[in-house]
């Protein structure tokens, strides 16, 4: 599978709370976080998701340092909804690129829609960033079908990042089918439902049946129609994630 014209792994790595929280940097675990990101890449994970909001940009700095100049890794980063005016988008993209230490941003996304800013203005800035070579392709996050239809009238949308996991299957009703019909990739955040899958009897039963962990069952299922981007805080988590597609799960969750 490809994103922005590059082949990527079917499972990515999310970096929320790696390097800090909501606009607040935390450098106390930088060494461990860098090791985790680098280890994920070594294990074949070539899709990494971050955002300017994560740790106030420190997550982007860690991702940039871990990835280096590798062209084999696709980096997604996102602009916060309070920065969606034309000049704000341009400024945010340049600042993200500086923190990532890359020649361009692979996939630049609107983190959340902002009804107070015309989508045409935001997408216009993103298209200009593409023309300038700062951004390779553009996407959105948390967009409904109606918003996707509006966005597609303005530009090619590479992907829509949404919450999607075995405990939150609502996107299968409308958003995912719409994206599939329009060639928009789906990127799934919270694919493990913030750990709640560990208490779900369906997943526990399937894990026993297949000899896998509940996390691997969840990721295997979600990867059928999206690119899940779970977070990993330890190397054993990365190992678990990386081996979650080495079996064939039947459609046993819905």
Task: Kindly state whether residue 109 falls inside one of the protein's structural domains.
Answer: yes
Catalytic residue among 54, 108, 164, 221: 54
Q: Tell me whether residue 41 is in a domain.
A: yes
What's the predicted TM-score (pTM) here? 0.96
Q: Is residue 240 classed as helix, strand or coil in its secondary structure?
A: helix
Q: How far apart are CA 1 and CA 131, in angstroms?
A: 25
In a domain, 248, yes or no: no
What is the model's pLDDT at position 254? 61
Q: pLDDT tens, 146-191?
A: 999 999 999 999 999 999 999 999 999 999 999 999 999 999 999 9
- Give the chain's length: 254
Domain of residue 237, residue span: 2-242
> Sheet harboring 47-49: ordered strands across?
13-14, 47-49, 74-79, 105-110, 135-141, 159-163, 185-189, 227-228
Report if residue 251 sits inside a domain. no
Count other C-beta atoms under 10 Å from residue 167's C-beta. 18
Instruction: Please give the pLDDT value at position 163.
Output: 98
Is the residue at 82 inside a domain? yes
Segment 70-74 mean pLDDT: 93
pLDDT at 246: 92
Annotated catalytic residue 54: yes
The one-character DSSP state at 171 is G
> Quick check: is 187 in a domain?
yes
Residue 251 has pLDDT above 70, yes or no: no
Look at residue 177 and tell me if it is in a domain. yes
Residue 140's domain is classified under what CATH number? 3.20.20.100
How far is the C-alpha of 89 from the C-alpha of 76, rounded, in Å?
Answer: 15
Summarised one tens digit per residue, pLDDT across range 98-136 is 999 999 999 999 999 999 999 999 999 999 999 999 999
Backbone angles phi, psi at 9, to 5 degrees: -65, 150
Q: Count how many domains the chain has.
A: 1
pLDDT tens digits, one per residue of 198-243: 999 999 999 999 999 999 999 999 999 999 999 998 999 999 999 9
Local structure of 140: helix, strand or coil: strand
Q: Is the pLDDT of residue 2 over 70?
A: yes
Distance (Å, whole) CA 182 – CA 56: 33
In a domain, 247, yes or no: no
- Pick the closest to residue 186 from 200, 155, 165 (CA basis): 165
């Amino acid at each position: 599978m490809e994103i922005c014209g590059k082949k990527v792994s079917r499972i990515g790595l999310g970096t929320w709370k790696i390097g800090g929280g909501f606009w607040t940097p935390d450098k106390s675990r930088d060494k461990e976080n860098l090791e985790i990101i680098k280890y994920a890449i070594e294990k074949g994970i070539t899709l990494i998701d971050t955002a300017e909001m994560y740790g106030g940009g420190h997550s982007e700095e860690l991702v940039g340092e871990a990835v280096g100049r590798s062209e084999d890794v696709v980096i997604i980063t996102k602009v916060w909804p309070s920065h969606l005016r034309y000049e704000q988008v341009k400024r945010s993209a340049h600042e993200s690129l500086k923190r990532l230490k890359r020649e361009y941003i692979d996939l630049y996304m609107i983190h959340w829609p902002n009804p107070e800013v015309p989508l045409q203005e935001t997408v216009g800035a993103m298209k200009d960033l593409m023309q300038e070579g700062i951004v390779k392709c553009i996407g959105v996050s948390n967009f409904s079908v109606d918003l996707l239809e509006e966005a597609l009238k303005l530009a090619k949308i590479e992907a829509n990042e949404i919450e999607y996991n075995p405990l939150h299957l609502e996107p299968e009703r409308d958003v995912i089918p719409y994206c599939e019909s329009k060639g928009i990739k789906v990127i799934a955040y919270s694919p493990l439902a913030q750990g709640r899958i560990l208490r779900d009897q369906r997943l526990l039963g399937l894990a026993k049946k297949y000899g896998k962990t509940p996390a691997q069952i969840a990721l295997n299922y979600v990867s059928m129609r999206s690119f899940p981007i779970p977070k990993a805080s330890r190397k054993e988590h990365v190992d678990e994630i990386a081996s979650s597609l080495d079996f064939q799960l039947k459609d046993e969750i819905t």
